[in-house]
Amino acid sequence: MHKKHNAMIRHFFTLTLLLAGLSSCLVKPNVPFTEQARPAAPDYSQASSWAALPDMEDQADWTPAPDLVDRQAEAQVDVFFLHPTIYIGKKGETGWNGPIDDPELNERTDNSTIHYQASIFNGSARVFAPRYRQAHLHSYFAHEDSASAFKAFDLAYSDIKRAFDYYMEHYNQGRPIIIASHSQGTTHAKTLLREYFDGKPLQTKLVAAYLVGIPVEGDFFDTLQPCERPDQVGCYCTWRSFKYGYLPPWYQPHSGVVATNPLLWNTSSTPAPKELSKGLVVPSYDGYLPERVGAEVHDGLLWVHKPKFPGSALFWRRNYHVADYNLFYLDVRENAQARVDAFLRRR
């Protein structure tokens, strides 16, 4: 079986438990992939096929506080951001892949991941975030029809690939690039990096990659390496957040999965106290909250002390997947700028 599909099987098992709380209420695809009409393919020459573009007013322009400025107009670097799964089985979402022309789905995408994740990078880069025919959430745990799930992910990646090709031909103009992603976006970003950057000429243009929310195996890439310094370039950062001390049911020790501590920006197991946290962002609070989370890498997982913020008494879950970026919003924002500065100095 293809290496990508072997990795996908591991991701199926991971997200089966990671998203188990949603699985009971999912509206699932009702026929096999081959018997289902596909949504229309995006046309990336049209602004409507993008959730974010630098010259378009969109949720990636948002900043959580007045002291954080959207600098896309002057940025010398681009970020290509791949959003997570938003097509989760609501309101008759029974296709294996979500359409990009569904206003309600696009609104959910824009008001969540584009607003709270892609916006992190507007202080240092122009933000490009393609819409794509994302695989249904059920695809991650469709053990009874894994063939359909593989095809759904392949279709989603075909959009990512075409979007990136269009971006390179029409927008990039030789500029350095950050690749950033979350969850399903990271499933595709890993493949994108391996196909276009890993040991390829374009690797010299890579500022860094933020591959968040999906396991990245230490041997997945041939030449790309995990970042070990906050100003290192041409490397990748990756983490999956859990409450401190929690081992999820699928945890296997010494699995070879990489984890970065976004308070230290290395893969060491050194604990990072909350005093190093530059600021988390949550919908229940206007602005950002510094010194609220400590973090420690534990054998492929990122253990995070329960954060305190308005409403955190109700934050009872032990899997912090949905907050992988929010918990470290300002940390990632400032780190992206540090790596951009280092890359431009080197150039």
Report pLDDT for 289. Answer: 97
Residue 291: inside a domain: no
Residue 40: inside a domain: yes
When pLDDT is cut at 50, 70 and 90, the band that residue 279 belongs to is: very high
Report pLDDT for 4. Answer: 42
Query: pLDDT at residue 180 above 70?
Result: yes
Query: pLDDT at residue 2 above 90?
Result: no
Residue 91: inside a domain: yes
d(CA 289, CA 268): 25
List, for residues 292-333, the tens digit of each pLDDT value: 999 999 999 999 999 989 988 888 899 999 999 999 999 999
**For the chain, how big is the Rg over CA atoms in Å?**
19
State the average pLDDT over residues 253-270: 97
Report pLDDT for 11. Answer: 39
**More confidently predicted of 162 and 4:** 162
Query: pLDDT at residue 248 above 90?
Result: yes
d(CA 52, CA 126): 9
**Looking at residue 50, which CATH number applies to its domain?**
3.40.50
Find where tokens 């990336």 sit: 44
d(CA 261, CA 307): 16
Report pLDDT for 347. Answer: 75
Report pLDDT for 12. Answer: 34
Contact assessment for residue 18 and residue 25, using Cβ atoms and an 8 Å cutoff: no
pTM of the predicted model over 0.85: yes
Contacting residues for 58 by C-beta, under 8 A, at least 6 apart: 51, 52, 110, 114
List, for residues 88-110, the tens digit of each pLDDT value: 999 889 999 999 999 999 999 99
Query: pLDDT at residue 147 above 90?
Result: yes
Report pLDDT for 144. Answer: 87
Residue 292: inside a domain: no
d(CA 121, CA 335): 10
Structure tokens at 97: 């892949």
CA angle (322 as vertex; 319, 325 as ends), nearest 5? 110
Task: Give all strands of the β-sheet with 241-243 in edge-to-edge order.
Answer: 241-243, 301-304, 295-298
Residue 76: inside a domain: yes
How many domains does the chain fold into? Answer: 1
Domain ranges, residue 16: 3-240+324-346
Query: pLDDT at residue 13 above 90?
Result: no
Report pLDDT for 26. Answer: 77
Nearest Cα neighbor of 159 from 256, 63, 87, 57 is 87
| Integer CA distances (angstroms), 270 to 5, 273, 324, 339, in order | 33, 10, 19, 22
Beta bridge partners of 90: none
Report pLDDT for 102. Answer: 97
Report pLDDT for 21. Answer: 41
Structure tokens at 67: 């002291």
d(CA 302, CA 202): 30
Share of the chain above pLDDT 90, in %: 87
d(CA 196, CA 301): 27
Query: pLDDT at residue 120 above 60?
Result: yes
Nearest Cα neighbor of 117 from 160, 180, 163 is 180
List, for residues 206-247, the tens digit of each pLDDT value: 999 999 999 999 999 999 999 999 999 999 999 999 999 999
Report pLDDT for 25. Answer: 61
Residue 80: inside a domain: yes
Count how many Cα atoms sit within 13 Å of the Cα of residue 111 in the half-sphere of its side chain.
7
Contact assessment for residue 248 and residue 240, using Cβ atoms and an 8 Å cutoff: no
d(CA 179, CA 212): 11
The helix (run of H) or strand (run of E) holding residue 160 is helix 146-167
One-letter amino acid for residue 310 of the chain: P
State the average pLDDT over residues 150-168: 98
Residue 34: inside a domain: yes
Q: pLDDT averaged over the chain?
A: 93
